[in-house]
Amino acid sequence: MSTSQTLSFPSPLYGGRLTVDLQAIASNWRFLNGKTRAETECAVAIKGDAYGTGQEKVAPALFEAGCRTFFAAVPTEAIQLRKILPGAVIYALDGLFPGTHEHYLAHDIRPVLGCLEELEEWTVVCKAAGRSFDAAVHVDTGIHRLGLSAAEFTSAMTDKDLLGPFRPSLIMSHLACGSAPDNPMNRRQLDQFREITAPFADVPRSLANSAGVLMGPDYHFDLVRPGISVYGGQAIETEPNPMAPVARVEARIMIVRDVPEGDTIGYGATQIARRPLRNAVVAAGYADGMLRRASSTDDRPGGFGMIGGYRAPILGRISMDMITLDVTDVPEHLLKRGAFVEMLGPHVAASDLAAYAETIDYEYLTSLGRRFERVYGPLT
């Protein structure tokens, strides 16, 4: 299958443009794969439309790079992914929705069974067929979201009457504090996962997300399932991000105007011009994934864009369809009507924007709006 990156001709009808670099995504996956032990498989989490980058294009690029196991979230994501990748192993992280097992079987989707009720329902299906259908079993080691408790897991895995012919294809858990490697929670979860799964070492095991991959081989087991790092995000907050950026958001300049000293900018009059300003209004807003929490006020700076190497701070509130930028110190020849401003990308890291918005880069990537023109090609 081809993953060639042919740039489409830019359309003047779009207010913004989202460029996704498929080769950078594939390169990030190969980097992470190279960090694992030789016997460890490197899968990928591709939920949330490949973290906002577009599953339809990204999945084939990752498969071509060598990835063979993919983790979607809900069954509809997994079924769509199956249409794209007929030869891949596909798990649905959100588990087995009640009464839907026929859809999982019809599309060869493996649910990640996260509670006793799901496990019991799946084993009934296996008993009726007299065979084991592939599924993962999720054991909770402290995050207290999905997953059987340690006691439930041990009891279920040793109850031959309960399991019948079913044998898990994977045992997994999930790190709660991987973004902070020094947090003692990581070691507690690792020790607990190793202890409770040791009697079942003949079943492949998985604990590591992106941060777990970067924390070293103790966390790798038989399969790792990175997500945010594949898409250029920062998995570990306390260290430089080694991943290549994969996406760039550019917003079109609609108007450049003067703002007299003392006037206010935007909804709520939350920011006053402390000097005569030049501002540029660009065609992107929170409806496009530019989070409103990154707005600027007199008391708190907001995010920024980049124009030809010049930083342009956000002025006032981000609105649904527009952002106002301070371009007072940007050369006039860069401020032509219709020109593009980088709002996220190689020069405006999603993690930096996330800090202004008091969130994480995951939210920025998965929130990228559908109004942008989507282009697949290199960012440089």
Where does residue 258 rank: exposed (0-12), middle (13-18), buried (19+ CB within 10 A)?
exposed
Query: Is 336 a catalytic site residue?
Result: no
Catalytic residue among 14, 35, 219, 267: 267
- Pairing relationship of beta strands 310-313 and 304-307 according to DSSP bridges: antiparallel
Sign of the C-alpha dihedral computed for residues 162, 168, 171 and 172 taken in this order: negative
Query: Is 267 a catalytic site residue?
Result: yes
Can you tell me the distance from the alpha carbon of 64 to that of 58, in angstroms, rounded to the nearest whole number? 10
- Pairing relationship of beta strands 323-326 and 277-282 according to DSSP bridges: antiparallel
Sign of the C-alpha dihedral computed for residues 245, 351, 71 and 216 taken in this order: positive
Can you tell me the distance from the alpha carbon of 166 to that of 163, in angstroms, rounded to the nearest whole number? 5
Residues sharing a CB contact under 8 Å with residue 206, sequence separation 6 or more, in sequence order: 43, 136, 170, 171, 172, 173, 221, 222, 223, 224, 225
| Cα 344 → chain centroid | 15
Can you tell me the distance from the alpha carbon of 12 to that of 320, in angstroms, rounded to the nearest whole number? 20
Please give the C-alpha separations between residue 17 and each of 149, 246, 310, in angstroms, as whole numbers.
45, 14, 19
Catalytic residue among 35, 47, 51, 364: 47
Please give the C-alpha separations between residue 78 and each of 42, 46, 269, 324, in angstroms, as whole numbers.
18, 9, 45, 39
Long-range CB pairs of 197-202, under 8 A, 24+ apart, other chains included: 197/139, 197/171, 199/154, 199/157, 199/158, 200/157, 200/171
DSSP state of 232: T
Catalytic residue positions, numbered: 47, 267
